[in-house]
Amino acid sequence: MHDLDRLKMLIGLYQKEARDLKKLISISIKEWEYMMADHYAQRLRQVNRELQILQTILDPDYGEKQILIRQITHYKKNRSLAGQKNLRELYEQWIGDAEKKLEGLNSNVNPDAPFSRVVADLLEKLKRKEVQKVVLMFDSELDLGIIITSGRKLYLRIPKIKTLRNRNAIGNHQISLLQGMGFQWDARETLLYLGLELNTLTNQVMELLSKIVFKVFIFEEMGGKSYISYR
């Protein structure tokens, strides 16, 4: 199955779960089951976070589009309120500007699953020794990312663990999850690393990276702080 198709299918599954959870929350409230409603609400928040991440990978402009949609809705609601006659012209201008910007974003043609495509291509080049190192920077402000190199094995390294701890970018929970995926400490416990056989399928590596991004380090938006580099 194509990466884009898999991504769309996963988004569809999360969207269905979100709809089901909303129904369960409504039923629980009607039946005075507030503890169950809170349980479902917590899961819904997690599903919505992961949905936003997946949508951003599918469409890098997704976050900005959602902000504009909320702004337009807010302006239209305020425009219709009593006592807003003096501000109506200003709201009309804001609505027009936001709708024009949204139309421009919607007309952009984005490449299919850019993150998956670029990273998968670089992993193949790394295996063929066409590049020496690939850096997936998740958050440049926190200096949180993965360095991937190829030698006798394909190595994934998360460096500067002490610094990341001090910046609250990583904690015992995340470290435990990474160790559950096979990551180990180096001798000085300054970084976590995972060695994979060179014949490991690119799709398997991509699945592992996706789990790290979505399950270990949950990013609501990665735009502006994340990048991919190689040499």
Quote the tokens at residue 31. 């039946």
Average pLDDT along the chain: 81
Residue 17 has pLDDT above 70, yes or no: yes
DSSP 132: S
Instruction: Give the separation between CA 218 and CA 116, rounded to whole angstroms.
Output: 17
Residue 139 has pLDDT above 60, yes or no: yes
In degrees to the nearest 10, what's the CA dihedral of 94, 98, 100, 101? Answer: 140
Closest CA to 1 of 207, 188, 148, 171: 207
Query: What do you get for the CA distance between the two ends of the chain, in Å?
Result: 30
Amino acid at 72: I
> Within 10 A of 151 (CB to CB), how many other CB atoms are there?
10
User: How far, rounded to the nearest angstrom, does the alpha carbon of residue 76 sit from its chain's CA centroid?
Assistant: 30
Q: What is the pLDDT of residue 218?
A: 62
Quote the tokens at residue 11. 């988004």
Residue carrying the six token digits 């089951």: 33
Return the percentage of the chain with pLDDT > 70, whole number: 81
Domain ranges of the chain: 3-106, 114-230
- The confidence band for 84, taking pLDDT boundaries of 50, 70 and 90, is low
> Within 10 A of 34 (CB to CB), how many other CB atoms are there?
11
> Are 212 and 146 spatial neighbours (Cβ–Cβ below 8 Å)?
yes
- The confidence band for 222, taking pLDDT boundaries of 50, 70 and 90, is very low
Amino acid at 83: G
Helix (H, G, I), strand (E, B) or coil at 113: coil
Give the residue with greater pLDDT, 61 vs 95. 95
Average pLDDT of the segment spanning 207-230: 67
> Are 193 and 157 spatial neighbours (Cβ–Cβ below 8 Å)?
yes
Average pLDDT of the segment spanning 57-72: 77
b/e for 104-124, b at 16 or more Cβ within 10 A?
eeeeeeeeebebbeebbebbe
CATH architecture assignment, domain 114-230: Alpha-Beta Complex (3.90)
Q: What is the pLDDT of residue 194?
A: 94
Helix ranges restricted to H, the chain: 3-30, 34-58, 62-79, 88-106, 114-127, 161-166, 172-180, 202-211
103's CB contacts (< 8 A; 6+ apart) are none
